Amino acid sequence: MEELDRVPDVIDIVAEWGLTNAAFRRNRLAVRRKVLAAILAASGVSYRETASLVGGMSYIAVRDCYAALTSLLPRGEKAYRRTVAIDESVVKLGGEHAYVWLARDVETGQTLSFMCSFTGSPEDSATFARSVLESCANKPALRLGRGTNRPRGLKNLEFYFQTEGGSAVAQIIQRILRVGGG
């Protein structure tokens, strides 16, 4: 029963999205591990360092995961978006906490961006929000989960944002992906 009540984290959501869009040809390694490696590489961590953080992968496997997953993201396609949901999950890498961020268009369900940071600071949330704007023709409203750093980091970017309760953003993303209990 506990397994059914578990809310998927960002890694689960991106893994489901990658599997749905056939990002990975073979799955000898766990898909969550591939997704985490791709997100780290997309965030600027070197392939070799990512391979050592994630473990059980070569740097070539990390590069392949990165290429497969990022090829699915929209490129150069700026669209008008009303609301974007942003969520984050905390994972442990090499004994340290890492923050994995995900942004999705609420209406279309399209994954817009993902990022990993090792601090989770207001500056990290602002950097991630700027990366989301690269696929938007306007400044959409941001729907955020609960987090003290996020609104502070976004005030300078002049976004309209709503802060939701604990798992509201995760539930929205679940509904879009049709996973989990929602």
- Indicate if the pLDDT at residue 7 is higher than 60: no
On whether the pTM is more than 0.75, the answer is: no
Q: Which residues pair with 105 in a beta bridge?
A: 84
| Distance, CA of 18 to CA of 14 (rounded, Å) | 6
Lowest mean per-residue pLDDT among 76-80, 96-100, 169-173: 169-173
- Sheet of 96-105: strand order equals 111-117, 96-105, 83-93, 141-144, 161-163
pLDDT in tens, 43-53: 888 899 889 88
